[in-house]
Structure formats: C-alpha cells, structure tokens
C-alpha cells in the first residue's frame, strides 16, 4: 500500500516535471524569434550609439564559434544561440555609451511591458502592477531623455568653447605684434583703402573701439570712419613709407595695456627726397591689449585733441 503510494507520487512528480519541461519548451520556442528580434534591434541601436565599435561584434563571432564547437548551439538551437550571443554583444556595446542610454532602454522596456499588459489584461488583473510599470517606465524615459539632452547641451557648450578658443588664438596670431607695426599697418590700410584693406583695418579694433572711432568721425560705422580718414591722405607713398612713431609715444597702461599716442606722427625721414609735412591724418590715441600672449588689439580709441 505504502509502496504503491510512493510509486504513484513519483509517477505524478515525473508527469508534472515533464509537463513543466514541455511548457518551458513551448515558451522557449514561442519567444526565440521575438527575443532574437529585440536583440538585433538593441544591437543596431547600441552599435550606432557606440560610434560603430567593432570589437563587440568580433567577440560575438568568437562566442558563436565557441558555442558551435562545444555543441551547445546544436542543443539550444540556432535562434537562441544567436539571441544569447547578441545579448552579450549588446551589453558590450552599451559599455561604450552613456549610462543614461541604458536607463532609457530599461524605461522603454518597462513601459512597453506595462502597455502590453494593460492592453492584454484591460486592467482586470494585476491592475496595481500594470499601472506601476507604466508609471515607472514613463519616469525612466522622461528622466533619461532630460539627462541626455542636458549632457548633449553641455558637450555642445564645451565644443563651442574649444572653437571660440581656437578662433581667439587664430585672431591673436594675425594681429600686429608691436605698437609700431600696428600704426604702420593702419597707415597702410588708410592710404590704400581697398575693400579688403578697410575690413582689415577695422579688424584691428575691438567692437567698442570701432564704435568710438565711428563716433569720432561722425559716421555710422568703422569702415566709413576708415574711408573718411583715407580722404585726408594727400600723398599715400609718403604717408606709408615716411611715417615715424616716436619711441616715447608708447607707455604702459592699466591692466597690462599699452597706450599709444599716434597723434604726433612725423613724416620727415632723411631718406625722403620729396618730403610732405602732412601727407595724411594723425591716427589718434590707441589703447592696445595683447591677445593670448601674441598680437595686439585696439580696445579703446580716442581722437586727437
């Protein structure tokens, strides 16, 4: 009697185990292609986010070969072999991207599961769990999207700061290095006021100094001011070639600036065989500020008194 009961229980246990195994096989068979599809989609997205890293895919290929050589692939089937391998590749690829992308994927998965449950169950069963899944999914998605946007904005700001710094360095390299070269170049641009020369002359002035120059000449902008100075040149060759800035015309100013008195320029070099006492205008009082340890920019302009 007792022996029969034992064997009956053993047989029943065996039947239940076999039934569970059959159910798991059915579930595995039903899920293999959806899981593989999700793994492929996640892999492609993660590959894009990782800036097309190749090492994870090579590692996945090695894993497939290993599973094939050990016979595991034959036992679990092609679909699950590829799905598991792709899952490993996905995780590897995601190590190259921001953690917020991980959170976004988790949020999408949780939200999707909640929506599917709500549609399938119509909130008749497991209502609290379904609502919680939807709420958690929405929170995760919103939080990750916001943080990704914040990080992207910060990267853009840093990239713009680098570009601005490079621009400032490039500008500093082409500005005049000394007060004398600044005065000589301004005189040259004023003496021969081609459109490029006028633009270059204004380039030597910071925006506030450009406005000060324009006001001093009673014109609208810096190019018009340069052209108004050019109209005062009577002998362009003498104005450019015989200009002389006295050494005492340059003094140290506040904040590391240089104060250049270009109101007492002379044009009486000994080599001048056709002297013109005043071949062109005096330039004004210039305050120069060195840029990035290289060239100088006119930051303040005052007309001659």
112-156 pLDDT per residue, tens? 877 877 777 665 667 787 788 888 889 999 999 999 899 999 999
User: Are residues 238 and 132 located together in one domain of the fold?
Assistant: no
Identity of the highest mean pLDDT range in 16-25, 71-80, 189-198: 189-198
In a domain, 171, yes or no: no
In a domain, 238, yes or no: yes
Q: Give the per-residue pLDDT at 1.
A: 47
User: Are residues 135 and 235 located together in one domain of the fold?
Assistant: no
**Please, what is the angle between helix 207-217 and helix 222-230, to 10°?**
50
268-294 confidence digits (pLDDT tens): 765 555 566 778 899 999 999 998 888
Task: Work out the pLDDT band at 84, boundaries 50, 70, 90.
Answer: confident
User: Are residues 14 and 161 located together in one domain of the fold?
Assistant: yes
User: Are residues 291 and 184 located together in one domain of the fold?
Assistant: yes
User: Are residues 251 and 123 located together in one domain of the fold?
Assistant: no
Quick check: pTM over 0.75?
no
* Domain encompassing residue 244: 176-302
pLDDT at 103 over 80: yes
User: Are residues 32 and 156 located together in one domain of the fold?
Assistant: yes
User: Are residues 162 and 180 located together in one domain of the fold?
Assistant: no
User: Are residues 153 and 24 located together in one domain of the fold?
Assistant: yes
Boundary-marking domain end, from 166, 189, 209: 166
Lowest mean pLDDT among 27-31, 147-151, 233-237, 294-298: 27-31
Boundary-marking domain end, from 132, 166, 200: 166
Task: Work out the pLDDT band at 207, boundaries 50, 70, 90.
Answer: very high
**CB neighbourhood size of 17 (10 A):** 10
Burial degree of 200 (CB within 10 A; 0-12, 13-18, 19+): middle
């Amino acid at each position: 009697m007792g022996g029969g009961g034992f064997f009956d229980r053993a047989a029943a246990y065996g039947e239940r185990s076999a039934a569970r195994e059959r159910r798991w096989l059915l579930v595995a068979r039903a899920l293999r292609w959806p899981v593989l599809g999700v793994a492929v989609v996640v892999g492609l997205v993660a590959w894009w986010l990782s800036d097309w890293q190749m090492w994870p895919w090579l590692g996945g290929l090695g894993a497939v070969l290993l599973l094939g050589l050990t016979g595991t692939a034959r036992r679990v089937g092609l679909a699950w072999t590829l799905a598991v391998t792709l899952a490993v590749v996905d995780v590897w690829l995601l190590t190259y991207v921001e953690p917020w992308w991980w959170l976004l994927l988790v949020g999408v998965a949780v939200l999707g599961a909640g929506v599917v449950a709500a549609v399938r169950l119509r909130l008749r069963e497991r209502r609290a769990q379904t609502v919680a899944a939807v709420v958690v999914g929405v929170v995760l998605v919103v939080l990750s999207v916001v943080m990704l946007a914040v990080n992207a904005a910060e990267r853009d700001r840093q990239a713009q700061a680098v570009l601005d710094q490079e621009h400032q360095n490039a500008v500093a390299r082409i500005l005049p290095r000394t007060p004398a070269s600044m005065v000589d170049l301004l005189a040259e641009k004023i003496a021969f006021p081609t459109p490029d020369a006028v633009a270059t002359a204004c380039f030597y002035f910071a925006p506030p100094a450009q406005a000060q120059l324009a006001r001093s000449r009673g014109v609208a902008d810096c190019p018009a001011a340069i052209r108004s100075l050019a109209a005062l040149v009577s002998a362009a060759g003498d104005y450019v070639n015989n200009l002389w800035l006295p050494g005492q015309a340059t003094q140290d100013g506040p904040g590391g600036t240089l104060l250049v008195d270009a109101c007492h320029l002379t044009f009486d070099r000994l080599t001048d065989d056709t002297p013109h006492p005043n071949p062109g205008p005096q330039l004004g009082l210039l305050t120069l500020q060195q840029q990035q340890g290289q060239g100088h920019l006119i930051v303040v302009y005052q007309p001659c008194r």
